[in-house]
Amino acid sequence: MYVFAFLGASLLVCALVWLRSSPRVLHALPLPPGPQTNWLGTVNNLPKVRPWLIYGGDWRQKFGDLVYIKVFRNPILILNSAQVVSDLLEKRGGVFSSRPSRTMLELVGWDWLVSMFPYSSKLTQHRHMIHRHLPANESSIKYHDLQIQEARNLCRLLSETPGQFRTHIRTASASIVLRMSYGETVDTAQYIPLADQALSSLAQAGIFGTYLVDYLPILKHAPPWFSFKRKALAWRPPVRAMRDEPFTAVKQHIAQGHATHCLVSEELERLACDADRAENEKVIANVASTLFAAGADTVVSAIAAFFLVMALHPEIQAKAQQDLDDVLGGLRLPTFADRAQLPFIEWIINELLRWRPVTPLGLPHYTSEECSYAGYRIPAGTTIVANVWAILHDPEIYPDPDTFNPWRYGDQQGGRNPFPDPAFGFGRRFCPGKHLALDTLFIIIATTLAVFTVTDDGEKPSTEFTPHSLSHPLPFGCTITKRATAHDLIIDEKM
Ligand code: HEM
């Protein structure tokens, strides 16, 4: 009797699974709701500036958590809540983890950027290598000394030329990832301008749809005098050089016997007698340069936001400095050993990542096969945009979301708010640099606040950020002064 009941139930489950994935049944389902498409196959009045506000505001109210649009016939699905993001990007990673192809970026030469790879064995091979150096679930202790040195060097630069704080922030975060990947081989002062030149093409060509060739990939075969082709060819050399030059320099240093230990030297050693050496060397070069491309500017944005918030909220700064003084006694600079006693600094970091997420729409994912969700059909080849901004500004999860409030992560009436993990993306494409980024932010913020006080320039700076996919605070001024404690001694003698 039980056997028949069990068999019956199993058959029913199989039938439901089959029905859910059967192409005919899927095709009968409607597409998710969204604004009307015009004769060009594009939504009218597509928001161009800070689209995350419209997606998570008007459109969410009208259409809900799933909004389906078309841009030049390319299907795009916007996910506006933590629940749908978890159901699709986290729980159905096998279908939702690819990336849309970007023909213009490929023409420019960005095909080595791991974050652009579709979901494939090539991606897995590169991510494996990344995780060997950046463990997924814990901080990488091996980089702590390097991070401490760069945080202290930042303070030295700030004490000399405080007005150039944004350049100094960039130097500090770039140096951490460069030294991690290439050791002491690369001269930061030379590499940063080269990388900036390369990365500016990523910012311009990276916005899907800026170039017609993204919609009509066949155009990539157009003759070289076409304007987009000329641009792509002009951008190509720095993009290639950004990957190849530092890698070649490390190889030369190894050959000459004076390389310092780093990701590239360690991986090259591992290759020693590998049959596929040339191919595997490419993987190492791709990984090392991707870590710079993905890991420098993102951290810069969060540190710049920190200076802005300190200028805006003296009470938050005073509380953090009081905690630091209680732990350090004004006699020494912080290290990672002090972290557990400085929870308020961690809460400031959480709130920086939530209040103004560095990538308000994350990086787009892409469906590799057709599927259904909540009674809707999601076609294969749909670009998936997770509205990180909307999730981190959901008043149900983060009450009064526009207020910068680090205390929300402590014990409070109504409970602690969760760590803003969506700031680092989702599922199988989750940011592998999360812990490195959190470590860098901790040591830079703690060291800076131990030594300096940040105030506004007489008028409150704007809280506006750039409207780009990687968002930075708009230019602002602030005054950075050394604190009236024993910190002169610290700056001069102990760094
Ligand atoms: C505050 C700092 C950072 C933020 C907010 C951030 C955020 C993100 C986000 C949103 C993604 C896309 C995830 C997805 O597709 O769902 C990503 C991917 C990535 N991040 Fe980060 N990131 C930061 C720092 C770093 C650092 C320091 C590194 C390494 C040095 C790094 C390396 C990467 C890489 C390699 C990817 C591509 C992963 C893939 O496509 O599979 N990130 N990051």
**Any binding-site annotation on 431?**
yes
Residue 102 alpha carbon to ligand 1 centre in Å: 18
pLDDT at 198: 92
Q: For ligand 1, what atom is nearest to the CA of residue 426?
A: 16
Q: For ligand 1, what atom is nearest to the CA of residue 177?
A: 30
- Using one digit for the tens of pLDDT, what is the confidence trace for 431-455? 999 999 999 999 999 999 999 999 9
Ligand 1 contacts CB of residue 180 (under 6 A): no
Ligand 1 contacts CB of residue 426 (under 6 A): yes
Residue 22 alpha carbon to ligand 1 centre in Å: 35
Q: What pTM did the predictor assign?
A: 0.93
Ligand 1 contacts CB of residue 423 (under 6 A): yes
Residue 382 alpha carbon to ligand 1 centre in Å: 22
Q: For ligand 1, what atom is nearest to the CA of residue 290?
A: 35
* Contact between residue 268 and residue 204 where contact means Cβ atoms under 8 Å apart: no
Residue 429 alpha carbon to ligand 1 centre in Å: 8
Ligand 1 contacts CB of residue 438 (under 6 A): no
Q: Give, for ligand 1, the residue of 123, 140, 142, 431 to mutate: max count of ligand atoms closer than 8 Å to Cβ.
A: 431
Residue 89 alpha carbon to ligand 1 centre in Å: 16
Ligand 1 contacts CB of residue 424 (under 6 A): yes
Q: For ligand 1, what atom is nearest to the CA of residue 437?
A: 27
Instruction: Determine the Cα–Cα distance for residues 129 and 271; give it in Å rounded to an integer.
Output: 12
| Those residues with Cβ within 8 angstroms of residue 299's Cβ, 6 or more apart along the chain or in another chain | 173, 176, 437, 440, 441
Ligand 1 contacts CB of residue 422 (under 6 A): no
Task: Please report which helix (H) or strand (E) contains residue 376, including its range.
Answer: strand 376-378
Which of these ranges, 45-49, 135-139, 226-230, 347-351, has the smallest mean pLDDT? 45-49
Residue 253 alpha carbon to ligand 1 centre in Å: 29
Q: Give, for ligand 1, the residue of 424, 443, 445 to mutate: max count of ligand atoms closer than 8 Å to Cβ.
A: 424
Residue 12 alpha carbon to ligand 1 centre in Å: 42
* Contact between residue 386 and residue 82 where contact means Cβ atoms under 8 Å apart: no
Instruction: Determine the Cα–Cα distance for residues 276 and 270; give it in Å rounded to an integer.
Output: 12
306 by DSSP, 3-state: which? helix
Ligand 1 contacts CB of residue 362 (under 6 A): yes
Q: How big is the CA angle at 221 (ends 384 and 381), to the nearest 5 degrees?
A: 20
Residue 29 CB neighbour total at 10 angstroms: 16
Q: For ligand 1, what atom is nearest to the CA of residue 359?
A: 10
Ligand 1 contacts CB of residue 295 (under 6 A): yes
* Contact between residue 384 and residue 88 where contact means Cβ atoms under 8 Å apart: yes
pLDDT at 85: 98
Answer with the residue of higher pLDDT: 353 or 12.
353
Ligand 1 contacts CB of residue 303 (under 6 A): no
Q: What rounded mean pLDDT belongs to the chain?
A: 91
Q: Which of 339, 333, 346, 335 is nearest to 483 (CA)?
A: 333
Instruction: Determine the Cα–Cα distance for residues 243 and 236; give it in Å rounded to an integer.
Output: 11
Residue 21 has pLDDT above 60, yes or no: no
The residue written with tokens 């899907």 in the block is 208
Q: Give, for ligand 1, the residue of 88, 298, 385, 428 to mutate: max count of ligand atoms closer than 8 Å to Cβ.
A: 298
| Those residues with Cβ within 8 angstroms of residue 305's Cβ, 6 or more apart along the chain or in another chain | 352, 355, 356, 465, 473
Confidence of residue 281 (pLDDT cuts 50, 70, 90): very high
Answer with the residue of higher pLDDT: 485 or 400.
400
pLDDT at 493: 42
pLDDT at 1: 47
- Supply the residue whose CA is at minimum distance from atom 19 of ligand 1: 431
Residue 135 alpha carbon to ligand 1 centre in Å: 13
For 43-82, the DSSP string reads BTT---SSHHHHHHTHHHHHH-SEEEEEETTEEEEEE-SH
- Using one digit for the tens of pLDDT, what is the confidence trace for 174-229? 999 999 999 998 888 889 999 989 988 887 787 666 788 888 889 999 999 999 99
- Using one digit for the tens of pLDDT, what is the confidence trace for 54-74? 999 999 999 999 999 998 888
By CB atoms closer than 10 A (0-12, 13-18, 19+), residue 339 is: middle
Ligand 1 contacts CB of residue 356 (under 6 A): no
Residue 294 alpha carbon to ligand 1 centre in Å: 6
Residue 434 alpha carbon to ligand 1 centre in Å: 7
Which percentage of the chain shows pLDDT scores above 70? 92
For 2-23, the DSSP string reads HHHHHHHHHHHHHHHHHHHH-H
- Using one digit for the tens of pLDDT, what is the confidence trace for 87-118? 999 999 999 999 998 899 999 999 999 999 99
Please list the residues that pair with 479 across neighbouring strands. Answer: 455
Q: For ligand 1, what atom is nearest to the CA of residue 386?
A: 16
End-to-end CA distance of the chain: 78
| Those residues with Cβ within 8 angstroms of residue 309's Cβ, 6 or more apart along the chain or in another chain | 316, 348, 352, 355, 404
